[in-house]
Amino acid sequence: MQQLLTQYAELNAQKKAIEQQLAELRDQISEQLPEDGARIDAGTFSWSKRKTWTYSPTVKALEGKLKDTKKKEEKSGKATFEETTSLRFTPKKEDNE
């Protein structure tokens, strides 16, 4: 079991380092990628668009009321929930952090 836990922790640290490298590469590629994208043997790089919505004060007020109503139902027991169990790993903080 100890070996599995250690392997998981080590892979998690590698994942974080890889994610940082990917973020840096993404920035560099974004500066240079042509509008029509690029293809390489491993796949295709292209631009994608995603909409971000901004709602009116009326909708924001309704969202706030909905959130409050949900909390009241949770407290009163009217709302129900399902509980799942999942693995959680919290890396040990380094001394220099």
Q: Give the pLDDT confidence of 73-82 residue by residue, as tens digits.
A: 999 999 999 9
The pTM of this model reads 0.66
Domain boundaries, the chain: 1-46
* H or E segment and range at residue 48: none
Q: Give the pLDDT confidence of 15-71 residue by residue, as tens digits.
A: 999 999 999 999 999 999 999 999 999 999 999 999 999 999 999 999 999 999 999
CB 44 within 8 A of CB 38: yes
> pLDDT band for position 3 (50/70/90)?
very high
Tokens describing residue 39: 């293809």
Residue from 64, 15, 25 nearest 45 by CA: 25
CB 13 within 8 A of CB 91: yes
Tokens describing residue 82: 């399902």
